[in-house]
Structure 1
Amino acid sequence: MQQGAEAVVRVTVGALWQAPEAVRPVDAPALGTPADVGAWVAGLDPDQRVGGCVLSQLLLGERVLITALRPDGWAQVVAVEQASARLDPRGYPGWLPAAHLTPARTAADGTPQVVVDATVTALHTRPDGPVALPGVVLGTRLVPAGPPLDGWRPVHLPGHDEPLWLPAVHLAPAPTRPPTAAEILAVASRLLDVGYLWGGLSAYGIDCSGLVHLTWRRLGVPLPRDASDQAAAAQRVELGTERPGDLYTFAQPGSRVHHIGIVTAAPQGHGERRMLHACYRHRKVLEERLPPERTATLVDARRF
């Protein structure tokens, strides 16, 4: 790999760090190859889960542009599949271990035709064989390596010469049409009670804009990564006319959008509104009626 080249992520969930120096001793499980994101999140205390050292996460097979390589094994990259107009017009910038990447020139870099539909699954060496790669998460896009066999599907993997297998029921065809409100809410609802994780983008931990990004990613729609960029990219909807599947955006006066959630019901009398969101205050994904303190910062509704 070299500076200026494109690469793909070879771990199931890779963290995009603010800087190599931001890494803490507790982050060691997230730095391995393979990365053990489940163990990493389980080892974080509530304050460590909301620290700003992790900017986002990258899923297996996701493309990045390498902008710098350090002798100590760190790569500065732009995540080209996570738009961030505010930070870099090419995508979301950050750092990750170079060992989490592989050159973008293998069969695994073809056009993904299937997407993981299980919350978390594993890849096996053969149908019903030993686990080769655990922790593959919802929304991961994969390239088929052949037809199903006995209920299993082979797929190409970045950094693996031979195809790996996972249950065919854990996959869905890559969507080719805009999602319906019912589909949006069905995907997002599967992440209810997932713990809040700043920069999180998986079923191991997720933040508010990560929930929106991952939900639409699973349904074949690429969205920006951050809440303010998501709001800017969507169509404004007059409050009172929002419907399930739209988005509520929140901001302090004079500040950019800092929170976003998915509308789950049409507004009711007396201003009652409901949404599904990754809530910093409750430290998890939940569906709730907007409390007064949240309504006080409600800006508008948006629609993709």
Structure 2
Amino acid sequence: MSSVSIGPATVAVALTTLWRAPEAVRPIDAPAVDDKPDVTGWVAAMDHDARLDLLQRVDSQAEAGEPVLVQELSGAWARVVLPWQPSRRDPDGYPGWIPLAHLRPAEPADDELPSPRTTGDDVLATGQELLGTEYVWGGLSGTGIDCSGFAHLSHRKHGLVIPRDASDQARAGQPVPLDALQPGDLIFFAFDNGAGAVHHVGFYAGEVNGTPTMLHAPRTGRRVEYFDLSDPSYATELCAARRYLPA
């Protein structure tokens, strides 16, 4: 029986998934919600359609030791917010549901992050360590990651807490003119030739042979990769850039 109660808690497993609701879990998702989750096996078992279907089911993930604020207990589940993953959905952090077995009571040092001392090149180098990682909607680890999770995790490894979703990331941070980009800046893409809603984020990775490049997690069925920013599929939708570095 879990001793977790409403209030501060901590992720007790290597990686847990943040679900929209307990009812969102499918039979194929059993390895992810097991008391000892096998996220690697879960991702490997899903075909392309099953991964696409995650869009309306999961929103993020949380690593061992990440702080959690439990707001409600319901059977074997806890409704939580994740303070290290800022979101417009809740002022206290990203909201969702986590299996109660994946949590433990908080301890005094559980909410400590590294001191943020870094440069854009440092953050980009951390992102490069995830090259080849599979795109998984809601993913936030080397097992699988989505575009905004890629940006978020690469910053957080340096003690920089930035919003979890691309649309929120595009509204925070330091605005950067598109003609003054530096490696490690986040660049954003929007529908309707850049005039609509933000739907994608990547890292500006500098120029390769005179061509501007991006490092990003593209979409389901692809892996973290470098991409030519002059390609019209992205060039026409480039709309904004932000920089997240310590003052």
Q: 1:212 & 1:41 partners in 2: Cα distance? A: 20
Secondary structure in 2 aligned to 1:279? coil
One-letter code of the match for 1:45?
D
* Residue in structure 1 matching 2:28, options 26, 30, 52: 26
**CA displacement, residues 134-164 of structure 1 (integer Å, 9 cap, x when unaligned):** xxxxxxx7xxxxxxxxxxxxxxxxxxxxxxx
Displacement, 1:35? 1.1
Cα distance between partner residues in 1 of 2:99 and 2:65: 15
Gapped regions of structure 2 (runs ≥ 5): none
Name the count of aligned residue pairs: 236
Give the TM-score normalised by the residue count of structure 1: 0.73
Aligned partner of 2:64 in structure 1 is 60
Cα deviation, 1:103-160, whole Å, max 9, x if unaligned, reads 114x6x4464xxxxxxxxxxxxxxxxxxxxxxxxxxxx7xxxxxxxxxxxxxxxxxxx
Q: Tell me: higher relative CO, structure 1 or 2? Use CA pairs within 8 A at least 6 residues apart.
A: 2
Aligned 1:204-283 pairs, distance under 5 A: 204-253=143-192, 254-266=195-207, 272-280=211-219, 283=222
CA distance in 2, matches of 1:282, 1:263: 22
Q: 1:273 to 1:12 in 2, by over 3 A?
A: same
TM-superposed deviation, 1:255: 3.1
Which residue is equivalent to 2:77? 74
Distance in 2 between the 1:74 and 1:202 partners? Answer: 22
Provide the rounded CA distance (Å) in 1 between the counterparts of 2:182 and 2:168: 21
What RMSD over aligned residues (CA atoms) do the two structures have, in Å? 1.9
Counterpart amino acid of residue 303 in structure 1? R
Large movers: runs of 4+ above 6 Å: none
Q: Is the 8 A contact 1:243 1:266 kept in 2?
A: no
8 Å Cα contact 2:136-2:220 kept in structure 1: no
Q: Percent identity?
A: 46
Question: Structure 1: 5+ residue runs without aligned partners?
Answer: 113-140, 142-173
Determine which structure has more spread, i.e. the larger CA radius of gyration.
1
Q: How does 1:13-162 map to 2 (within 5 A)?
A: 13-50=15-52, 51-52=54-55, 53-71=57-75, 73-84=76-87, 86-105=88-107, 109-110=109-110, 112=112
Structure 1 contact 247–261 (Cα < 8 Å) conserved: yes
TM-aligned CA distance change 1:82 to 1:110, over 3 Å: closer
For 2:209 and 2:198, the matched residues in 1 are separated by: 24
Per-residue deviation, 1:243: 1.2
